[in-house]
Amino acid sequence: MTSSPETPTRRERGGILAPAYLATTIGVFALIAFNAFEAMAVTTVMPTISRDLDGVGLYALAFAAPLASGVVGMVAAGSWSDRRGPAVPLAVSLVLFSLGVLTCGLAPSMEVFVAGRVVQGLGTGALIVSLYVVVGVVYPAHLRPSIFASFAAAWVLPSLFGPGIAAFVAATVGWRWVFLGVVGLVVLAAVLIAPVVPGLRTDADDQGPPSSSKLWWALLAAVAVLAVEVFGSLSRALPITIGAIAAVVTVAAVRPLMPRHTLRAGRGLPAVIGTRGLMSAAFFCGQSYIVFVLQERWGVSAGEAGIALTVVGVVWASASQVQARLGQRLTSERAMTIGATMLLGAAVLMWLAVRLDLPALIAGGAFVVAGAGMGLGFTRTGVAMLAASSDSDRGFNSSALTIADSIGAALALSLCGIGFAAADRAGGDPFLAVFGIAVVCAVGAVVTAVRTSAVVSRG
């Protein structure tokens, strides 16, 4: 199966639910949905886990670890997909994800839990890149906004029920079953996608073995970004210096994994990738700490705090559907700019809610606005990236986009961990540091979004 479009009367009538696309659409929807359930569940119960395993100091690292290790999975899956197609990377990703989730569920300590999150991240990273390549291989350009909107829609049910289910399971039989239950969902997703896998090949198949150099750069970036948080959060001068060096190494290591000029937000595809990373950084600062701050500052229960995650998932999916329906009437540049601006406004409002001790509803409502911005702008980064890609570099560009996503979020979360610890030691409000970092990242996202207009279609 290749990316060459066929006549609308044969393949495209009925959109992504047309007979030619139905099995693939169901399969990728299921994979995204089950991955979303795990993400929502973990965010809800992480404060409980960190207290139960006496690992509050590793709270930020538990979120950053899978994002950082995911970079290795992304590079491997992208290179593999460009040469062999996405079928095998997709299968391997599901195995790694399941192994990581199982390790988390059985972890006797926070250190082992974080190790499980590292393995889980390898699988998640490979999974997301593989699915992006699947979209490029299977769907013609005009259907891609719809399939990416379905990715956002796949978060709706997990957003509606995931936080509540996770809180209930944690309160009744223990948080470990939140993870162990996910393994069964992954098996179900594998069954749904299995009939589609044999046909997932690209015109660039069988180009030879992948280069190992990019994998080494990815590994260096993953280790460095985690070192930023591990060393930077310590109070002594030498560890802080090591953490600062690690931050520089992280930036240097991702450079070979990106298109040229990405780090300086060159116009077109580089700016698209930069926008993706900075939006992800700003949003994950909020998502990782919103439940925590609602519990610690306003005394909200885990189940009640999870409502914010629920509403955000629905709003994200709704905004994504809006951008899909608008299609080319809303350019990708404008969608990304509007989305980044909404994200900035939300980050500022969350900071003000903490600083001025505003009602919890305002903090939660601000996070909902952030979800709307992500649904509108974040979704279009995938569309813009594929518009600038061909069969020969679709895997690399998909990998670069998701690497920016993960490294941006992981580095921001590492900085959040440092800021949180430093503010706490100084007797300040640690949550102000966290949401302040989110504001800075959102400002960067707005700046890069306005530079994305040079993307042109290559396929």
pLDDT at 309: 80
Give the tens place of pLDDT for each residue, 344-361. 999 999 999 999 999 999
Give the tens place of pLDDT for each residue, 127-176. 888 887 888 778 887 888 788 778 777 777 777 788 888 888 888 888 99
Q: Can you give the three-state secondary structure of the chain, one letter per residue?
A: CCCCCCCHHHHHCCHHHCHHHHHHHHHHHHHHHHHHHHHHHHHHHHHHHHHHCCCHHHHHHHHHHHHHHHHHHHHHHHHHHHHHCCHHHHHHHHHHHHHHHHHHHHCCCHHHHHHHHHHHHHHHHHHHHHHHHHHHHHCCHHHHHHHHHHHHHCCHHHHHHHHHHHHHHHHHCCCHHHHHHHHHHHHHHHHHHCCCHHHCCCCCCCCCCCCCHHHHHHHHHHHHHHHHHHHHCCCCHHHHHHHHHHHHHHHHHHHHHCCCCCCCCCCCHHHHHHHHHHHHHHHHHHHHHHHHHHHHHHCCCHHHHHHHHHHHHHHHHHHHHHHHHHHHHCCHHHHHHHHHHHHHHHHHHHHHHHHCCCCHHHHHHHHHHHHHHHHHHHHHHHHHHHHCCCCCCHHHHHHHHHHHHHHHHHHHHHHHHHHHHHHHHCCCCHHHHHHHHHHHHHHHHHHHHCCCCCCCCCC
- Please give the mean pLDDT across all residues of the chain: 83
Give the tens place of pLDDT for each residue, 208-230. 445 567 788 888 888 888 888 77
Q: Higher-confidence residue: 67 or 9?
A: 67
Give the tens place of pLDDT for each residue, 5-37. 444 444 455 688 888 888 788 888 888 888 888
- The rounded distance, in Å, linking the Cα atoms of 348 and 345 is 5
Give the tens place of pLDDT for each residue, 373-391. 999 999 889 888 888 877 6
pLDDT at 226: 81
Most confident of 76-85, 98-107, 284-293, 324-333: 98-107
Architecture of domain 10-449: Up-down Bundle (1.20)
Which one-letter amino acid corresponds to residue 429?
Answer: D
Band (pLDDT 50/70/90 cuts) for residue 435 is very high
Looking at the predicted structure, is the pLDDT value of residue 414 above 90? no
- Domain spans in the chain, listed from the N-terminal domain onward: 10-449
Looking at the predicted structure, is the pLDDT value of residue 336 above 90? yes
